[in-house]
Structure 1
Amino acid sequence: MGFSILVTASLSMEKKKIKIAAFNVNSIRARLELILNWLTHRGNDLDILCFQELKTPTENFSHSEFKARGYHCAVWGQKGYNGVATCSKFPPQEVRQGFGGKIAGEDSRIITTIFPYFSLINIYAPRGGEPASKKGIAKLEWYGQLFRFLETTFNLQDPLAVMGDFNIAPSNLDVFSPKKLAGTIGTLPEERQALARLFRLGLLDVFRALYPQQQQFTWWDYLGGAIWRNEGLRLDLCLSTARFLELVQDCYVDLWPRRRRAPTPSDHAPL
């Protein structure tokens, strides 16, 4: 996602509060020390961690470090690029990789974990490019595949969340300067239309549902101290069905990992 945001949703299920975070780490190996420091800083309170942009093969994922913290990790890695992992303190009933195994050469960008009371889809959307470029077209095609996957695979009346790096800022409220960033990747009309199709399925933007006018970002450029001027974009999202949203108590961005000077942070913050 080029950004790194932490979205933490607190859910009430059977009177148990569950905290979930999504974090584009921009290389799990480069960010491992920071992640462990962050978990310690939070008192190891997160129940589910959704990581994106692992940039490592599945077999090289740091299972032992997360197992020591009590997590079971479902991983779909890829050498040098992409990669997603969902680590939870309770094992999922089922794990699915990709869009159902029907797309040849599919990148490691989506992993689904099925839990007793809800389903969780962890995604890392393509960054894209100009609308007519190969990368721009591929991004829109990927969103079309995501739409069909959601429409045909899940009952959208059930509790379901789609979390991760969408690489699209949903509206101008999610961009620090719409004027400066007009026509840039992540804000293009074609991209926002692709995201809007997911909303028409009945999915809701959890953060925006809770905070209709609040401006929070999840990604800041490494250059020029953008994090300290808060010149960012909200690219990391949690979309959910209405049944899931009913369970949510809060949704926010945790800036602590992004504001570290050492170890080097990701350009995203966790949601």
Structure 2
Amino acid sequence: IPWLREQRPDVLCLQETKVADGQFPADEFLAAGYHVTFRGEKQYNGVAIASREKPEAVRFGLPDGDPADEDRLITAVFKGITVVNTYVPQGRERETIHFAYKLDWFARLRQFFARTYSPAAPLIWCGDLNVAPEEIDVHDPKRLLGHVCFTPEVWEAFAAVRSWGLDDMFRRQHPGETGHYTFFDYRVPGAVQRGLGWRIDHILATSTLASRLLGCDIDMAPRLAEKPSDHTILVADFATD
């Protein structure tokens, strides 16, 4: 909330809120001047969208009917721009049903985009996507290769979603640059100070919006707070009409 009050973004997308709907601090967002839409459960998953203007439309989950997805995806529309906020399954271990579920989830998301939207329309896909797409997106690619967020199967699944017509806003702004991360594991001593991170949180957009990108950067200040999340905030600015 302090970051929200200070930075005043038009839209803030949150993932892994880990709070049941009845305990979500909606009043704090309202007091800060924001509408907030959310869906979650105690201890696991959860997504929310806070916005300065009330969304024109909201939907939860993927349209193929799995109720579990409602805690992982919110779609909201603002002035004709669709925002798809997702918390992609992490996958746990490669040789498990959880990893297979992750790959299938990407495939279902690709179908959702293809059947519901046009890549010519203004759309943003963002969130904790649990994939580091390139070697430069992790601090030690040789050692980390094979992790469920850094493995060829996940790269392929992620690329398939992107191929629908989505561009990585951070890489559009910072092509080829190293040392930029959004996630630092609590279990790694001094991870932030030592630069031991992952870039697994992303903002992607269709060409209509990508051409209006003004900037996309990682704000490290929230990760350096007294009681931080293990993720920090990725910010994208777009020109308005």
TM-score, scaled relative to structure 2: 0.92
Cα distance in 2 between the residues matched to 1:245 and 1:211? 14
* Larger RCO, structures 1/2 (Cα 8 Å, 6+ apart): 1
Q: Deviations over 1:69-119 (max 9, x none)?
A: 110001111222101000000111000100126224435100000111311
Q: Residue 239 of structure 1 aligns with which residue?
A: 204
| Runs of 4+ with deviation above 4 angstroms | none
In the alignment, what sits opposite 1:249?
Answer: 214
Partners of 2:116 and 2:204 in 1: CA distance: 16
1:59 & 1:47 partners in 2: Cα distance?
A: 25
Q: Calculate percent identity across the aligned residue pairs.
A: 37
Distance 2:2 2:116 in 1: 37
Tell me the amino acid that sits aligned with residue 78 of structure 1. E
SS across alignment from 2:222 = coil
C-alpha contact (below 8 Å) 1:38/1:256 kept by paired residues = no
- Alpha-carbon contact 1:82-1:107 (below 8 Å) kept: no
Instruction: Give unmatched runs, 5+ long, in structure 2.
Output: 235-241
* Amino acid in the other structure paired with 1:253: I
Q: Does residue 159 in structure 1 map to residue 122 in structure 2?
A: yes
Alignment of 1:1-271 (within 5 A): 36-40=1-5, 43-100=6-63, 102-215=65-178, 216-222=180-186, 223-260=188-225, 262=226, 264-271=227-234
- 2-side partners of 1:88 and 1:105: how far apart? 24
Aligned alpha-carbon RMSD (Å):
1.3
Structure 1 residues not aligned, in runs of 5+ = 1-35
Q: Secondary structure at the match of 1:219?
A: coil
Mapped to 1, the partners of 2:175 and 2:73 lie a distance apart of: 28
- The secondary structure found in structure 1 opposite 2:37 is strand
Give, in whole Å, the separation in 2 of the partners of 1:58 and 1:120: 21
The SS at the match of 1:265 is coil
Residues 218, 113 of structure 1: CA spacing in aligned structure 2 closer, same or farther, 3 A cutoff? same
Q: Provide the residue aligned with 1:31 in structure 2.
A: none
2:62–2:70 contact (8 Å) kept in structure 1: no
CA distance in 1: counterparts of 2:7 and 2:173, whole angstroms: 25
Return the alpha-carbon distance in structure 1 between the equivalents of residues 103 and 64 of structure 2: 19
Normalised by the length of structure 1, the TM-score is 0.82
